[in-house]
Amino acid sequence: MNDPLLELREATVSYRTAQGLVPAVRGVDLRLEAGQTLGLAGESGCGKSTLAMAVLRLLPRNAELGGQVLLAGEDVRAMSWGRLRAVRWAQASVVFQGAMHALNPVQRVGEQIAEPIRLHSSRPDNKVSARVGELLEQVGLPARRASAYPHELSGGQRQRVMIAMALACEPGLVIADEPTTALDVMVQAQVLTLLSRLVDELDIGLLMISHDLSVLGSTCARLAVMYAGRIVELGPSEQVLRHPAHPYTKALAAAFPTIGDPASRLAPRGLPGDPPDPAQLPGGCPFHPRCPSALETCSDTDVRLRAVGDRSVACVLEVEA
Ligand SMILES: Nc1ncnc2c1ncn2[C@@H]1O[C@H](COP(=O)(O)OP(=O)(O)OP(=O)(O)O)[C@@H](O)[C@H]1O
């Protein structure tokens, strides 16, 4: 049997800071097969971006990666820099949030899309240009827009350019980190439709990150919900959205009821308090101080994910399958 595109086994990331070691990702197990889509949700600071960056070892220097992060069975922790360069773009790529900042403002977008192609193939220049045109059309932009500078494009068009760049070397895995956060509602929906179409057409695996469960639910078949560096619920999107099992998922699902709800840009409504500082996690379940269903035992029992029907849930409460 083929190795999954991506597999995390007890993956951990801690940041070395003046205040000590900050555990941002705390023992995450995840699996993504070719052609599958997985959404990773959670409030700001729960470790989503850290986890995504760990996959391609794009972490800052003060980060320590532990456990296993396997790309097609190969542990990224054991890869040389040369091997990592070969894997980035070609095997897995990232669409970052905020395309205006991720693109070079003084370089034509076609040139920027061409860069990873040149890095990973010895195609002659005319073939590279043809491939750039093909990629732009694939993301719904005319090929002639290759000569545009980022400021000449709208926010949605720039995000399409970022997606074209991520697809340039035909990776099996694309990681999209808040790909629609900076866009207005209509454009957000268009970019999500584009991502869904590309996933189907190109049979890529997609790991999409957002604080907004409804955005993820519209694009991803499975959802993982993260809190304080751990996955607290994982399962088919429809089940997780319709019948959230973990009290934190319930609060998130209630906070973001529909795609494009302007309020979805804000912190979850009706969920008191803030996520804990990873440097000072409370004892027991890290969600218990904010949990409306907390029992006495939750302050000293830290439950790990357990299977409940098609889902996995990290909660002491009885969960209906
Ligand atoms: N370079 C760093 N050094 C120290 N701590 C960091 C660093 N980067 C992130 N952190 C901390 O790690 C934790 C997880 O951050 P991360 O950015 O992964 O969360 P997130 O869920 O992606 O949030 P957001 O949606 O705001 O990006 C946070 O407490 C954050 O402050």
Cβ atoms of 310 and 239 within 8 Å: the answer is yes
What is the distance between the alpha carbons of residues 99 and 274, in angstroms, rounded to a whole number?
28
What is the distance between the alpha carbons of residues 129 and 114, in angstroms, rounded to a whole number?
7
What is the distance between the alpha carbons of residues 285 and 281, in angstroms, rounded to a whole number?
9
SS3 state at 169 = coil
pLDDT band of 259, cuts 50, 70, 90? very low
299 and 229, same domain (yes or no) = yes
19 and 155, same domain (yes or no) = no
pLDDT band of 302, cuts 50, 70, 90? confident
Nearest CA to ligand 1 atom 30: 45
- How far does the centroid of ligand 1 lie from the alpha carbon of residue 47, in Å? 6
Whether 267 is in a domain gets the answer yes
Domain that holds residue 162: 102-170
Whether 130 is in a domain gets the answer yes
Question: Tokens standing for 308?
Answer: 């409940």
Residue-level pLDDT at 126: 86
Whether 62 is in a domain gets the answer yes
Helix 125-138 and helix 155-167, axial crossing angle in degrees, nearest 10: 130
Pocket residues: Cβ below 6 A from ligand 1: 15, 17, 22, 24, 42, 44-50, 60, 62, 211, 278
Residue-level pLDDT at 23: 96
Length of the chain in residues, anyone? 321
164 and 177, same domain (yes or no) = no
Among 114, 142, 170, the domain boundary falls at: 170
Which of the residue ranges 42-46, 67-71, 134-138 would you say has the lowest mean pLDDT?
42-46
Residue-level pLDDT at 254: 82
Nearest CA to ligand 1 atom 5: 15
- How far does the centroid of ligand 1 lie from the alpha carbon of residue 252, in Å? 19
Nearest CA to ligand 1 atom 2: 15
β-strand partners of 205: 173
Whether 319 is in a domain gets the answer no
44 and 179, same domain (yes or no) = yes
189 and 151, same domain (yes or no) = no
- How far does the centroid of ligand 1 lie from the alpha carbon of residue 61, in Å? 14
78 and 109, same domain (yes or no) = no
302 and 215, same domain (yes or no) = yes
* Confidence check: pLDDT of 128 > 90: yes
Whether 205 is in a domain gets the answer yes
216 and 234, same domain (yes or no) = yes
Which of 16, 25, 40, 46 maximizes ligand 1 atoms within 8 Å of its Cβ, making it the mutation to test the pocket? 46
Helix 109-120 and helix 125-138, axial crossing angle in degrees, nearest 10: 120
Per-residue pLDDT tens over the stretch 198-224: 999 999 999 999 988 888 998 999 999
Q: What's the mean pLDDT when you consider all of the chain?
A: 90
138 and 179, same domain (yes or no) = no
Residue-level pLDDT at 104: 93
Tally the domains of the chain. Answer: 2
The residue among 29, 35, 25 whose CA lies nearest residue 10 is 29
Whether 321 is in a domain gets the answer no
* Confidence check: pLDDT of 270 > 60: no
Residue-level pLDDT at 320: 61
Residue-level pLDDT at 289: 93
- How far does the centroid of ligand 1 lie from the alpha carbon of residue 22, in Å? 10
Question: Tokens standing for 119?
Answer: 């890095």
Please report the ipTM that was assigned to this predicted complex. 0.91
Residue-level pLDDT at 306: 92
What is the distance between the alpha carbons of residues 207 and 220, in angstroms, rounded to a whole number?
8
- How far does the centroid of ligand 1 lie from the alpha carbon of residue 96, in Å? 15
What Rg value do the Cα atoms of the chain yield, rounded? 20
Nearest CA to ligand 1 atom 4: 15
59 and 123, same domain (yes or no) = no
Angle value at C-alpha 140, between 157 and 164, nearest 5 degrees: 70
For residue 18, give the CATH number of its domain: 3.40.50.300
42 and 163, same domain (yes or no) = no
Among 170, 194, 213, the domain boundary falls at: 170
Burial of 61 from C-beta contacts in 10 A (0-12 / 13-18 / 19+)? exposed
Whether 61 is in a domain gets the answer yes
Burial of 106 from C-beta contacts in 10 A (0-12 / 13-18 / 19+)? exposed
Among 170, 194, 229, the domain boundary falls at: 170
* Confidence check: pLDDT of 16 > 90: yes
Give me the sign of the Cα torsion angle 130, 135, 140, 145.
Answer: negative
* Confidence check: pLDDT of 163 > 90: yes
* Confidence check: pLDDT of 241 > 60: yes
β-strand partners of 94: 175
129 and 182, same domain (yes or no) = no
Whether 96 is in a domain gets the answer no
- How far does the centroid of ligand 1 lie from the alpha carbon of residue 268, in Å? 18
